Amino acid sequence: MTLLQRKQLDWINAGWVGIAAFEATGGSGVITTEITAALGTAGRGGTAVPVQISASEGEGVIATGDHNRVEIYDSATKEKLVDGSGNEVYGRITESGGAYTLTYYVLDAGAQTAHSISPATDIDLYFPYRFTADKYPVDAAIALTLKNVYSEPTPGNGGANPEIAEPIAVTAADTLDDLSTTPATGSAMKLSVNGQVFASTEPSPAFSRSGLALTWSAANAGFSLQTTDNVVAYYFAS
C-alpha cells in the first residue's frame, strides 16, 4: 500500500515561530527583517515558509482575530515582560505594503490598552503562523511550552519567584483539579493542554481562576476537556 505524502494533504495548522533579542522601545516596532529571517528556516527541517499574511485561515502569519497575539519575554531574565502594575505585555502584528509592525499592549482591568516600552528592552517573542502539512515543524505546537519548561526564568522584577510548571489532573469532563499553590496577586497564568497554550489574559480566556480553583470554558476554548488530556499550569507563586 502506498501512503500519501504530507505535500498531498490539504491541511493547515498553526504553530509558534520565535524571534530572539529584538530591541523593543516605544509603542511599536517594525519587525519585517526579523520575521523574514525567522520564516526563512521556520518550516519542517529548517526549510523556508512564505512571508505573507494568513488569509481566510490559509498559510501565513496570523494578523487578525483573537489568535493574533504575540507572546513577549524579557531576553535577559526569560520572564514574561510586564508593566509597572504587573500586567503582561503582549503584541499584535499588522502588515501594510509588505512591512510588518509589532504593537505592544497590556490588559488593564480587562481592557486592551496600548503600552509603551521604556527604556529600550531586548525581548524574545513568539508569533503564530499557519503552516501547510508539508512544512509543519515537528514541535511547532509545543515550542512555547518547551521554552517555558526548559528556559527557566532568572528571578527578576525585584526577586520574583521562578515560574512554576504544575501538572493538573482532569478529574471529569471539563473539571480540573485545584492548584497546589496560590498564584501571585495580579499575575497572569497559562494552561497547556496537550501542548496548546491558553493564557488567562486572552480576550475570551479558555479558563478562569478563583483562589486555587480552576474553571474550564469549553465554549471559549472550542473543545471540552477529557480525563485523558494532559494539562499543565504555568504561574508565579505568591
- 129 with 84, same domain: the answer is yes
The answer on pLDDT for 68 being more than 90 is yes
- 136 with 173, same domain: the answer is no
The answer on pLDDT for 163 being more than 80 is no
**204: burial class by Cβ within 10 Å (0-12, 13-18, 19+)?**
exposed
User: CB–CB of 18/143 below 8 Å?
Assistant: yes
Q: Is residue 110 part of a domain?
A: yes
- 11 with 95, same domain: the answer is yes
The answer on pLDDT for 105 being more than 70 is yes
The answer on pLDDT for 157 being more than 50 is no
C-alpha cell at 186: 495580579
- 135 with 170, same domain: the answer is no
- 10 with 69, same domain: the answer is yes
Write out pLDDT tens, residues 54-63. 998 899 999 9
pLDDT of res. 80? 86
Q: Is residue 228 part of a domain?
A: yes
Write out pLDDT tens, residues 86-103. 889 999 999 999 999 999
- 122 with 213, same domain: the answer is no
Q: Is residue 151 part of a domain?
A: no
- 192 with 99, same domain: the answer is no
Which of the four pLDDT bands, split at 50, 70 and 90, describes residue 213?
A: very high
Q: What is the mean pLDDT of the chain?
A: 86
Q: Is residue 145 part of a domain?
A: no
Q: Which long-range contacts (CB under 8 A, 24 or more apart) does 34-40 make?
A: 35/61, 35/100, 35/127, 39/129
**Taking Cα atoms as reference points, which of 64, 62, 46 lies closest to residue 54?**
62
As for how many domains the chain has, the answer is: 2
- 177 with 64, same domain: the answer is no
Write out pLDDT tens, residues 168-187. 999 999 999 999 988 887 77
pLDDT of res. 2? 53
- 30 with 122, same domain: the answer is yes
Q: Is residue 51 part of a domain?
A: yes
- 19 with 111, same domain: the answer is yes
Strand segments, DSSP code E, in 46-110 are 60-61, 70-74, 90-96, 99-108
- 81 with 121, same domain: the answer is yes
Range of the domain at 123: 6-140
Q: Is residue 147 part of a domain?
A: no
The H-or-E segment that residue 144 falls in is helix 143-150
- 132 with 193, same domain: the answer is no
Task: Please compute the mean of the pLDDT values over residues 117-126 and round it to a whole number.
Answer: 93
**Taking Cα atoms as reference points, which of 191, 140, 163 lies closest to residue 13?**
140
Q: Is residue 152 part of a domain?
A: no
Task: Please compute the mean of the pLDDT values over residues 14-42 and round it to a whole number.
Answer: 95
Dihedral of CA atoms 32, 38, 39, 41 in degrees, nearest 10, equals: 150
Q: Is residue 179 part of a domain?
A: yes
